[in-house]
Amino acid sequence: MDKIIRTACFFVKEAKDYSEAFVKEISSLLEKHRYFIQTTRVCYANNSKLDSPEGESLTSAGRLSIEAANKFLPTFLQREKTFFILDLSSDEVSNAHVDLLYEIVNKRPGHTFNFAYGCNIPSSSPYFPSSIFEKEGFSIGLQPTNLAKGCSTLGQWQENMRLVWNELNTLLSPFSGFLGIDSSVAPLYEGDGSLIAYIKKMHTSFSASVTTDVYTRLSSFMQTENPHPVGLCGIMFPCLEDFELAREYECGEFSIERNLFLSLHSGLGIDTYPIGIDQPKERVVEILRLVQALSHKYTKPLSVRLVSDGKAKIGEKALFNNPYLYDAIVREL
């Protein structure tokens, strides 16, 4: 199995508190035990200034209110590797919240990948844009789909996850700043990295799998068997990052409704979902209000990340120029 760490995220109060030496110590330890680390990231304590120079790590301003987000937007648009989440946990969703998204689409569409709306998002998740500072330390997020390599049953995959979680917990628990493992399933690309490619091996089609218990069994396992849980601990359904899911989307098999159905019992919301530049804002407001209501009703973290290339209208193919995103024909929300 391929032990891939999507992110090792370090939570600090201010930029000056970030220690390159400590990051290298953790990274070296993990690499010694044959873990491949895709990215290291740093999340600040709701610090929307981020006035230090950008380094190699991805950075996050964490959770911002609409007022703070509007103030931060000019800085956000200028920076290359910065993310943030707009908190909808208590606000009444209005046109102002959607105007911010469309401003990003108009001025720097590639940065729609770096921004999301969030409701009731727990702290200390290492996955961007949903990372929120609560206390100093670090957390780990895997790319667990690759642990399913060679597995013919869900039970075999789950056992691989259990082995890796326990190994990581043993390796990292001696560090006082270890916050835990976000056991979320985070798919990427196709083949071994794709959740939907694996699901299709067990079911006749993705569509058929939606009304089985495979996702609830998987999400329940992640929440109960993780020895040191932190953050989201759910199944991500990133529409354009999982290339097999992107193909289902293009065929009309992954509508907003199906996305939300899966999210309510096992998932985490709407993620890297395409939006056309001619999509009426009113429709986005409606969707955000529903996601907010569902998040509160089921006491569940839900986020919304809508992505655009700044050019594609509904019915046209979006060219994102982003290696993490599949270039898909945009459908109406």
Give the domain range for residue 275: 4-307
Q: How far is CA 317 from the centre of its chain?
A: 23
- Report the amino acid identity of residue 132: I
pLDDT at residue 49, as a whole number: 58
Q: Look-up: residue for tokens 């996702």?
A: 215
Instruction: State residue 51's pLDDT score.
Output: 62
Q: Band of the pLDDT at 47, cuts 50, 70, 90?
A: low
Report if residue 316 sits inside a domain: no
Residue 151 lies in a domain: yes
Q: Is 12 helix (H, G, I), strand (E, B) or coil?
A: strand
CATH of residue 228's domain is 3.20.70.20
The predicted pLDDT at position 247 comes to 96
Confirm if 145 and 188 have CB atoms less than 8 A apart: yes
Give me 34's structure tokens: 């044959």
Q: Is residue 230 part of a domain?
A: yes
pLDDT by residue (tens digit) across 135-193? 999 999 999 999 998 888 999 999 999 999 999 999 999 998 999 999 999 999 998 99
Q: Which residues contact 193 (CB under 8 A, 6 or more apart)?
A: 143, 145, 146, 187, 242
pLDDT digits (tens, 9 = 90+) for 269-302: 999 999 999 999 999 999 999 999 999 999 999 9
Say if 331 falls within a structural domain: no
pLDDT for the residue 55: 66
In a domain, 245, yes or no: yes
Residue 291 lies in a domain: yes
Residue at 30 is within a domain: yes
Q: How confident is the model at residue 19 (pLDDT cuts 50, 70, 90)?
A: confident
Domain count within the chain:
1
Is 36 a member of any domain? yes
Mean pLDDT of 217-229: 95
Scanning the structure block, which residue is given the tokens 């009444």?
Answer: 92
